[in-house]
Amino acid sequence: MSTLSVRSPTFFAWMSVLTSVVTIALKFAAWWVTDSVGLLSDAIESLVNLAAALVALWTLHYISTGADDDHNFGHEKAEYFSSGIEGSLIFVAAISIIISAMPRLIHPEPLGELGIGIALSVLAAGANALCAWFLLKGARAHRSITLEADAHHLLADVWTTVGVIVAVMLVPVTGWWRLDPIVAVVVALQILWTGWRLIKRSFDGLMDKAIPEDERQVIERVLETLRHEGCDFHALRTRQAGRKHFADVHILVPGTMSVQAGHDLVERIEHEIHLKAPYVEVLTHLEPLEDPKSWDDPKNPLAGS
């Protein structure tokens, strides 16, 4: 078992919170010594990172409470809210960067102590990149879109910092003071794309989007074996809920089959699916093969009437 999979998802969320606190201090210090609007914008985004990390921490703690009387299937869908909030916060950060850059774009000014400011920003970018790498590892180990969203948020922040550092270094070389706010705006537009992708993924999850096609094909291959045993299946439906995936399928067996035999059959099929797709929870409906009503399409209840 991977060492990272042993760590709880909240461990990674706490790592993100602590990293955000450190980078906020470094980035505001960098802005203070340089008076660069680009570095100020970068520091503002780090405040959003901290808010996003706290949202992720709360979400993962909420999910860990498991199913209850009011939420029989668990709380995994809360991950989509978290991912959507993070995407929205990235939008807020990008807009804040653009607003901060506008005055300096209109009235450009020379920058202050660049050496110290750049060194502090490089340290902040390194901390974010390392934390994002660990978060992506944790996201894959726990199949958590919350950790994945937080990681991409930090990576967007890294690109922001890199862009700002390049601009700040080029400003004294070119003597073009407007380069500082222009690069800040360009980077802000780039991270808007990251925010949009997170929001879209959250929307798909809340709308019960089907599981990935390759995972569905794994399930279908197991179900196809029924046809070699004089049985059949239809009406396979799937959906995603955070790290959990669900499949609903109708299993058709000869009407003469005993209840025990039918039960044993679907138990075996569900077990085989679980072995090949361990994150899929399968719900089967056992029906007589000879009854025409068994072939009614549950997506269109009037089809068989």
Predicted local confidence at residue 3, as pLDDT: 54
Largest CA distance in the chain: 88
Of the candidates 226, 55, 225, which has an alpha carbon nearest to the alpha carbon of residue 145? 55
Across 107-180, the runs of DSSP E, i.e. the strands, are: none
Predicted local confidence at residue 302, as pLDDT: 42
CATH top class, domain 213-295: alpha beta
pLDDT in tens, 100-136: 778 777 877 666 677 888 899 899 999 999 999 999 9
Q: Which residue in the block uniquely carries the two structure tokens 């921490």?
A: 57
Predicted local confidence at residue 127, as pLDDT: 92
CATH 3.30.70.1350 in the chain, residue ranges: 213-295
Q: What is the mean pLDDT of the chain?
A: 80
d(CA 210, CA 141): 22
d(CA 148, CA 65): 20
d(CA 232, CA 160): 55
Token pair for 24:
């906020």
Q: Give me the mean pLDDT over the 197-214 stretch.
A: 76
Residues 6+ apart with CB under 8 A from 249: 219, 223, 233, 234, 235, 236, 237, 282, 283, 284, 285
Predicted local confidence at residue 117, as pLDDT: 84
Q: Give me the mean pLDDT over the 174-199 stretch.
A: 76
Q: Give me the mean pLDDT over the 273-286 stretch.
A: 87
pLDDT in tens, 38-69: 777 778 777 777 877 887 788 777 776 766 67
- What pLDDT band is residue 1 in, cutting at 50, 70 and 90? very low
Check residue 294 and give left, alpha or beta (phi > 0: left; psi -120 to 50: alpha). alpha
CATH 1.20.1510.10 in the chain, residue ranges: 3-206
C-beta of residue 248 within 8 angstroms of C-beta of residue 280: no
Predicted local confidence at residue 76, as pLDDT: 66
Q: Which CATH superfamily is domain 3-206 in?
A: Cation efflux protein transmembrane domain (1.20.1510.10)
**Torsion angle in degrees (nearest 10) through CA of 75, 81, 87, 93:** -110
Predicted local confidence at residue 77, as pLDDT: 67
Q: Give me the mean pLDDT over the 285-298 stretch.
A: 80
d(CA 109, CA 105): 9
Question: What backbone phi and psi angles, to 5 degrees, belong to 284?
Answer: -110, 145
Which 8-state DSSP code applies to residue 175? -
Q: Quick check: 22 pLDDT over 90?
A: yes
